A and B are shown apart, each in its own frame.
Chain A
Amino acid sequence: MTRLLLASAAAVLTALPALAQEKPVLTVYTYDSFTSEWGPGPIIEERFEAQCGCDLKLVPAGDGAALLGRLKLEGARTDADVVLGLDTSLTAAARETGLFAPHGVSPALDLPVDWDDDTFLPFDWGWFAFVYDRTKLDTPPASFEELLDAPEDLKVVIQDPRSSTPGLGLLLWVKSVYGDEAEAAWARLKPHVVTVTAGWTEAYGMFLEGEADMVLSYTTSPAYHLIAEDDDTKAAAVFAEGNYLQIEVAGRLKDSDQPELADAFLAFMLTDAFQDAVPTTNWMYPAVTPAGGLPKGFETLAKPAKSLLVPADEVPALREEALAEWQAGLGN
């Protein structure tokens, strides 16, 4: 058995370089769902390869945080030329690795906030929000305060900040709204929390099963149900204090052996060919609105009047403290 394994491993190893030598290869590390058959990956790959004369290799590496973890494990030895899929809660830590190079462009972006990061370029964004079913919940809370003060039978499912991106988003959201009172806010939220799941998938699945009135997700989640399933019962609650932003970014690696291709990819990323795939595959807002506008259905989505975002370089210092408050407020 072992010999068979070694032989097959050796066969694969020798076959790989032979296949790859024809065209230059641009290796892009990204999160898992980006590369899935239902994500933007396949479309992006086809469109970029049509113009670059290269082989675009999208490598899935878990979610955003796992992506950064993998990069740290590999260090300067990494094969990645571009990393796509970090968000602003991770960019400070990513910059600190010293593996990234400045992008050198000053693009016009359609973001709710100003963007002046010289290393990372946004490719899409969205607001975190509590999603609910219109047919079951007439009047959703209009603010965080209303949610915390709601009768106890208003139930939510949230995600763990230690293992999920939306969970971390909620952690920073509550911290931005409540500051030093965050622990008390978590304690007030506690009676409403059905459970805290490891990832978005479990939480959203439980919400669809009817376990909670609301689930932590994105303002764009209802767009999926509307456009793909023709179901307009899902909606996102907008909070008066503001909804927390997630801005997803890409950056190119300093030691890339394909610097021109990496630059070309980042430029391509902000063109319509990339951006118009974003709304209905990644279910997020494009960083640059394509010429054709947003797909039909997106105009029905709730739009928060106020966007909250902890500046990227303040996240590392805030995170520990916010996590401790979360554990103290929700635990026991």
Chain B
Amino acid sequence: MAGGAGELSLSPARIAGGVALALVVALCLGTLLPLVLAAEPGRGIGPADRAAIRFTLFQATLSAGLSVLLAIPVARALARRRFPGREALVTLLGAPFLLPTIVAVLGLIAIWGRSGLASRALGLAGLGPLDVYGLGGVLLGHVFFNLPLVTRMLLQGWGAIPAEHWRLAAQLGMGPGAVFRHLEGPMLREVLPGAFLLVFLLCSTSFAVVLALGGGPAASTVELAIYQALRFDFDLGRAALLGLVQFAICLVLAAGLLALGRQAGFGQGLGGPVARHDAARPLARAIDAGAILFAAAFLLLPLGAVVVRGLPALIAGLPAQVWPALRVSLSVAVPSALLSLALALALAGLVTSVRRGLLAEALTLMGLAASPFVIGTGLFLVLNPLVNPFALAIPVTLLVNAVMSLPFAMRVMVPAMRRAREDYGRLADSLGMSGVSRFRLAVWPALRRPAGFAGGIAAALSMGDLGVIALFADPETATLPLTMYRLMGAYRMEAAAGTALLLLLLSLALFWIFDRGGRWLDRA
């Protein structure tokens, strides 16, 4: 790609990338091996599993398509409008995605459920209650989780179009059509395939949401089939087989979509505020206002329900056990986010510097396609004969969380790294820069902002994570989500709602700190 002669050697950066890639592959693919070795002859993949594979592909395609389509007008509106509360709204976009599934489901049904707000409003008009359970419920849940994520990714994309281009477009008197053709279209073409892929993978490995809102066993995913194989049938071989199916889907899709996502090649601008000449038309105003109102209502109402349910318990005081759990969660989330960033940096360096970078990038996406149950079981089989699994509870959680949030970090880091290489790579080569100084002067400045965003996502994801490593869970080191589930399991729904709200606020705070940190470094 943009690599100069100096980059073809085995640089330390490339070795670091190779090591990171090996780690990801070992954790995702390598953990299947112990399952296969320990497996007794099982049933293999049956008709119910095939139905699950079909439904998974179907709902994940629809969920991802819908999330991406709806995110485009929302992100464009947020990119070109300034209004009070915009910053807060953009921050809150990070919220749904990091809610523990059960909290999100309860928040969603408080609005869309049979006795939710919408049903009660319909009731006033003499209409029957809403019934979202089924494919509609699954899509509702997945769009709620992922629309904000895609919006954030697209916002980054809009932000990457240099202000100079907009000024030029204004001088040339480009209308909305021309602006789309020359500026927004190419940017979308770069960002959308990756965003679609991420959401597809997220939706294809979810199962609690799918089940809860899907209305019945017809809504079963591959992930549920894996869970069933491990838990109900204890058929390790079938679990491994289904795990492979998930990877195969991921890799085929990743190869296709990443190849599709061509670079926009805007080049580097000098920064500065973007004045959108095309935004003043009344029609554009109306569309943007509609998009923002829609997104705000769609996201904030269920979030509001979570806040309303949790606030009384949060104010009245949470059970004492919540606070040590909070410490555990933070001590996992922060190092895990830093580790994820380090891995993403190394891998982005590798992906953008070698000819077959696409394959490496596709491989890193396996972190999302990997079943947490398979990773946990595989690691347990490998580690248990050697060490006490409890002793490794924190390091293993940290590592698995870092690898699972890696695909998000990669989505924002790779394009930024590629841009840095294109814009400054040749200059750096000609100056003979290498090693630390090259990274510090020619690469890092372009990465600070995306790195902050990626770190924020990783930290928040890691906070909200649950049960990736149930087999390693130490009684003394319960995380915040686990404590919340335990409260619910003991009927203490109010205290659990308060804990969920605390979790939400903390995840958001972490996300905000990382994201701000990136921007602050960028300005400093």
Contacts and interface: CB of A to CB of B under 8 A. Distances in A.
A163 B227 contact: yes
Contacts of B115: 209-211
B384 A209 contact: no
Contacts of B493: 204-205, 208
A326 B391 CA distance: 41
A65 interface: yes
Contacts of A195: 133, 137, 211-216
A190 B493 CA distance: 28
Interface string B389-410: 0111011001100000000000
Most buried by A among B207, B232, B398, B488: B232
B30 to A, nearest CB: 17
Contacts of B491: 204, 221, 224-225, 228, 283
Given A163-B228, A197-B212, A38 B487 contact: yes
A193 interface: yes
Nearest to B105: A202
Contacts of A77: 384-385
Contact of A13 (B106, B391, B399, B470): B391
B249 interface: no
B153 interface: no
Interface residues of A, number: 63
Interface string A31-66: 011011111000000000000000000111110011
B319 A162 contact: no
Interface in B56-112: 102, 105-106, 109-110
Contact of A206 (B109, B319, B388, B395): B109
Interface in B361-402: 377, 380-381, 384-385, 387-388, 390-392, 394-395, 398-399
B200 interface: no
B212 A59 contact: no
Given A193-B215, A330-B216, A5 B109 contact: no
Interface in A1-43: 1, 5, 8-9, 12-13, 16, 32-33, 35-39
A198 B490 contact: no
Contacts of B432: none
A161 B332 CA distance: 33
B435 to A, nearest CB: 20
Contacts of B106: 205-206, 209
A83 to B, nearest CB: 15
Nearest to B467: A62
A325 to B, nearest CB: 11
Contacts of A233: none
A201 interface: yes
B224 interface: yes
Contact of A162 (B133, B228, B385): B228
Nearest to A199: B208
* Chain B interface residue bracket vs A: 35 or more
A200 interface: yes
Interface in A169-214: 190, 193-202, 204-206, 208-212
A62 B133 contact: no
Given A162-B224, A205-B106, A330-B216, A38 B486 contact: yes
B121 interface: no
Contacts of A205: 102, 106, 488, 493
Contacts of B110: 209
Interface in A126-148: none
A38 B212 contact: no
A155 interface: yes
Most buried by A among B38, B487, B491, B493: B491
Interface string A202-238: 1011101111100000000100110010000000000
A152 to B, nearest CB: 11
A29 to B, nearest CB: 11
A159 to B, nearest CB: 9
B102 A73 contact: no
A33 B231 contact: no
A39 B113 contact: no
B473 interface: yes
Interface in A89-114: 93
A69 interface: yes
A70 interface: yes
A1 B342 contact: yes
Given A36-B489, A65-B231, A162-B231, A73 B217 contact: no
Contacts of A163: 211, 224, 227-228, 231-232
A48 B471 CA distance: 26
A5 B231 contact: no
Contacts of A35: 475
B216 A193 contact: yes
Contact of A61 (B133, B213, B391, B471): B471
Contact of B227 (A161, A162, A193, A225): A162
B485 interface: yes
A60 B48 contact: no
Contacts of A162: 224, 227-228, 231-232
B489 A32 contact: yes
A91 B384 CA distance: 24
B490 A36 contact: yes
Given A62-B470, A162-B224, 5 more contacts: A160-B211, A197-B211, A202-B208, A202-B212, A206-B109
15 contacts: A13-B388, A73-B377, A162-B231, A198-B211, A198-B212, A201-B488, A202-B102, A202-B208, A202-B212, A204-B493, A205-B488, A206-B105, A209-B106, A331-B217, A331-B218
The 6 closest A-B pairs by CB, nearest first: A38-B490, A210-B115, A36-B486, A162-B228, A33-B489, A331-B218
